Amino acid sequence: DQTFTTTLTEALTSYFQTNDTPDVHPTTVWQAHKAVIRGLLISRASFLKKKAQQEHLHLLCTLRDATAANIVDPSPQLAQTIHDTTTSINNMAISKTAHILHKLKQKTYSQGNKA
Where the chain has pLDDT below 50, the residues are none
Q: Measured between alpha carbons, how far is residue 27 from residues 9, 15, 16, 20, 31 in Å?
A: 20, 14, 12, 10, 6
pLDDT at site 115:
60
pLDDT at site 1:
84
Give the tens place of pLDDT for each residue, 50-82.
999 999 999 999 999 999 999 999 999 999 999
Q: Measured between alpha carbons, how far is residue 105 from residues 63, 97, 100, 110, 111 in Å?
A: 33, 12, 9, 9, 10
Give the helix ranges, DSSP H, for the chain: 2-19, 26-72, 76-110
Specify the pTM.
0.77
Q: Give the chain's mean pLDDT.
A: 94
